[in-house]
Amino acid sequence: EDGYDLWLRYRGLAMVAQARVATQARSIVHAEPASPTLQAAVAELKRGVAGMTGKEAASATQSADGALLLVTPANAPKGVDLPWSELGREGYALRSLKLGGRAVTVIAANTDTGLLYGSFAWLRAAQTGADLSRLDLRAAPKLGLRLLNHWDNLDRTVERGYAGASIWDWWKLPDLRDVRYVDYARANASLGINGTVLNNVNAKADSLTAPFIAKAAALAEVLRPYGIKVWLSARFSAPKELGGLKTADPLDPAVRAWWKAKADEIYQSIPDFGGFLVKANSEGQPGPQDYGRNHVDGANMLAEALSAHGGVVMWRAFVYAPDTGDRAKQAFAEFQPLDGQFAANVIVQVKNGAIDFQPREPFHPLFGAMPKTPLALELQITKEYLGFSTHLVYLGPLFEEVLRAQPDGAPVAQHVKAIAGVANIGSDRNWSGSHFDQANWYAFGRLAWNPELASSDVAREWVQQTFTTAPRAVDSLVAMMLASREAVVDYMTPLGLHHLMGTAHHHGPAPWVDDLERADWNPVYFHRAGRDGIGFDRTPRGSNAVAQYAPDWAARLARPETTPEDWLLWFHHLPWDYPLRSGRTLWAELVARYDRGVATVADMRSQWAALKADIDPQRHADVAAYLAVQEAEARWWRDACVAYFQSVSGLPLPAGTRAPAHSLDEYKAQRFNFAPGRGG
Ligand code: BDP
């Protein structure tokens, strides 16, 4: 057990369960000739049944007792009433029924992709112990585009990647196709992920040259049967770099013609190419503003080039400039006034919060504020600000929190048309850099398919498929996972603090940093701690970022008493003795939360240690070693932050609290040894 098999392990079930599953999957009846997608579905079912029961499920043409029937409207048995219109293009229904006196299971969908998703759903039901003789399940995705964004560079380094090198072996492509690509496709299809952006948003123009298009086309061929489209990040200045043009001005006819020809060229080799993801005029990337144009001019120009082919532009709203005040306000200020002006095939992709993937952020004010523009929610699966792949942090609750946040009466999930997750996948044998980080890929995919799922249920089914189905162990693992996100918030940035991490690498604590070239890169800019108190005043007395929220929220967030305590210092600058709901002062609560975070990690460690008999030895040892690192680093965060904030507040430590292990100067002097090239 090295983690390679992810949640598709299909290990032998206990005897009774084996018999139960085997009875429901004696044979598989499907259309012939089978499309590559249908073949993938059948192969997966056979693999799963053989793994779980030790018995083969053979293909058959006639349904017999215990048959699994894969049906579309074209080959559905007569007299069976199925909810076709509710299933759409990607949905499926699973139903146990009697057909001519035989007990069978029908997997029904309008398309072969739906049948593939339905097959994975049946396998999930089997692995998690559902009663397969009484299935009546139907599901269809709420969001049409469910994408991974790889921040993978063409030299195989991965920006903010902590799982080895890029899985895309650009050098060997297009001729050599690593078998991993198929397993990657299976894993994504099992979740319903239907698109993948292959390269970093900080894009090189080379990704749009003919050799790289051929490589992308080879990947598209592997992924296509699994319902996954290939997308590319596009560098806005490519017409200059590749086309020899003098400008990349989106209103210039030659520039427009260049992009159109480029799109035509891509669709020649990748007829179902998804489209372009663009980071423009952000952190030094080129964009339309370089020519006095705006985001609409840039996005619509690319949209026009793609539209003949049905392609889409995902235009990112992650922008901030050094000189325009509160960074949290900038995306809204640039984008909201453009609502209604984007072409129909443009989607504006917005990060979950207004700063940058912090352990906890209030939802981004753009959600709900651009009713005439399709939006995508961008989440980060890779844990750039949450302890890399060495800390155990289950992100399901973070994803759930933003999907369910209600900007104006309806949840964020209903304000978006698409969802994108910055991938945590790499060449590491276990794919994600640690065993538990696989759960974040899984949770992203499951919640992308159905944003109404509870992240606790998702954790449970992941554990059952990935580790064990023993009920006590499952409960304990789920409890650890659910506590982990709050723990990291507590030991890094409690009470709405944000951006306290070390320069460039973003791993350890550095709340003291105040000397970076741009004010809004410095932790002191974000926490604003001084003798008088701590926190960023975003009320009307301060930056007034609260005014970007809908009126109810704006009123609530303008006052500390009505602001959720978990967001307190995001919106307010408060005196150290400000009283909190716990009865403690702000200072005492801050220290208490840092302590609580460390204590939770210590608990997670002992819970894991107690599970030794339930987990295979290799993975148990791997995770135990990582948890030891996490505990040490949680202490490091806690001690360094407490030492620093104490030096600023001048207050004694609350009675009974442990003093930091080292002096503030020692924390400041520590250097984190990180691999360069992973983003600055
Ligand atoms: C930040 C990362 C940086 C990315 C940027 C982005 O630190 O590496 O390029 O986001 O999203 O979180 O474009």
User: pLDDT tens for residues 339-394?
Assistant: 999 999 999 999 999 999 999 999 999 999 999 999 999 999 999 999 999 999 99
Cα 133 from chain centre: 34
| Nearest Cα residue to atom 10 of ligand 1 | 356
User: Which atom of ligand 1 is the closest one to the Cα of 357?
Assistant: 12
| CA separation, residue 552 to residues 355, 547, 555, 566 (Å) | 22, 10, 5, 18
Q: Is residue 122 over pLDDT 70? A: yes
Ligand 1 proximity of 159 Cβ (cutoff 6 Å): yes
Per-residue pLDDT reduced to its tens digit, 259-270: 999 999 999 999
ipTM: 0.99
Q: Is residue 679 over pLDDT 50? A: no
| Nearest Cα residue to atom 1 of ligand 1 | 356
Tell how far the Cα of 98 is from the centroid of ligand 1, in angstroms: 54
| Nearest Cα residue to atom 11 of ligand 1 | 318
Ligand 1 proximity of 279 Cβ (cutoff 6 Å): yes
φ and ψ of 600, to 5 deg: -65, -40
Ligand 1 proximity of 160 Cβ (cutoff 6 Å): yes
**Distance separating alpha carbons of residues 77 and 63, to the nearest angstrom:** 10
Ligand 1 proximity of 361 Cβ (cutoff 6 Å): no
> Which of these, 523, 283, 271, lies nearest to 385 by C-alpha position?
523
Per-residue pLDDT reduced to its tens digit, 140-199: 999 999 999 999 999 999 999 999 999 999 999 999 999 999 999 999 999 999 999 999
| Nearest Cα residue to atom 8 of ligand 1 | 679
Tell how far the Cα of 236 is from the centroid of ligand 1, in angstroms: 17
Tell how far the Cα of 645 is from the centroid of ligand 1, in angstroms: 27
**Distance separating alpha carbons of residues 18 and 16, to the nearest angstrom:** 5
Ligand 1 proximity of 353 Cβ (cutoff 6 Å): no
- What is the percent of the chain where pLDDT is above 90? 94
Q: Is residue 600 over pLDDT 90? A: yes
| CA separation, residue 341 to residues 278, 296, 645 (Å) | 17, 7, 46
Coil, helix or strand at residue 646: helix
* The length of the chain, given as a count of residues: 680
Those residues whose C-beta lies under 8 Å from the C-beta of residue 14, and which sit 6 or more positions away, are none
pLDDT for 678 equals 45
pLDDT for 676 equals 52
Mutate to test the pocket of ligand 1, among 149, 153, 157, 159 (most ligand atoms within 8 A of CB): 159
pLDDT for 259 equals 98
| Nearest Cα residue to atom 13 of ligand 1 | 201
Tell how far the Cα of 200 is from the centroid of ligand 1, in angstroms: 10
Tell how far the Cα of 394 is from the centroid of ligand 1, in angstroms: 21
Tell how far the Cα of 421 is from the centroid of ligand 1, in angstroms: 13
| CA separation, residue 197 to residues 177, 398, 449 (Å) | 18, 23, 18
User: Which atom of ligand 1 is the closest one to the Cα of 279?
Assistant: 13
- Asked if residue 679 lies in contact with residue 200, where contact means CB atoms within 8 angstroms, the answer is no
- Amino acid symbol at 211: P
The full set of domains in the chain, from first to last, is: 15-138 (3.30.379.10), 145-466 (3.20.20.80), 491-536+573-669 (3.90.1330.10)
Per-residue pLDDT reduced to its tens digit, 404-460: 999 999 999 999 999 999 999 999 999 999 999 999 999 999 999 999 999 999 999
User: Which atom of ligand 1 is the closest one to the Cα of 200?
Assistant: 9
Where in 394-537 does DSSP place strands (E)? 418-422
- What is the percent of the chain where pLDDT is above 70? 99
List the catalytic residues.
283, 356, 384
Q: Is residue 37 over pLDDT 90? A: yes
Per-residue pLDDT reduced to its tens digit, 649-675: 999 999 999 999 999 999 999 887 665
